[in-house]
Amino acid sequence: MSVEPLVLAVDDEAGVLRLLKLELSSQGFRVLTASNAEEAEKIVSEHRPDLALLDVMMPGMDGFEVARRLKAGPRTAHIPIIFMTGLTETEYLVAALEAGG
């Protein structure tokens, strides 16, 4: 019996979430989506994702803070994080690494 890897995708744009869910599901992943940090934290408290895809620029709590919180928790510190962003300046790349991405 194989278990599909679980991916958490967090983005404030519904179209991006639909596309991610469609593409990842077609590749054999189970995908849970959240449109903000609060939804993401609720999902993580109930499920154990194998990977988190985080948008950096969201209203309220940004993706960097979500990552820091995930990495600080003993139940979630192991979750690999990939940031989804068009920001390419060095300061954002450093911030992504420092946040645990």
d(CA 60, CA 45): 19
> If you average pLDDT over residues 15-36, what whole number do you get?
96
Lookup: tokens for 38: 């609060």
Residue with tokens 């991916």: 7
List, for residues 59-83, the tens digit of each pLDDT value.
Answer: 888 888 999 999 999 999 999 999 8
Helix H or strand E segment including 81: strand 81-84
Instruction: Report whether 67 contacts 42 (CB < 8 A).
Output: no
Instruction: Report whether 65 contacts 40 (CB < 8 A).
Output: no
**pLDDT for res 101:** 78
**pLDDT for res 2:** 56
Helices (H), 10-62: 14-26, 37-46
d(CA 5, CA 91): 32
**pLDDT for res 46:** 94
Instruction: Report whether 79 contacts 70 (CB < 8 A).
Output: yes
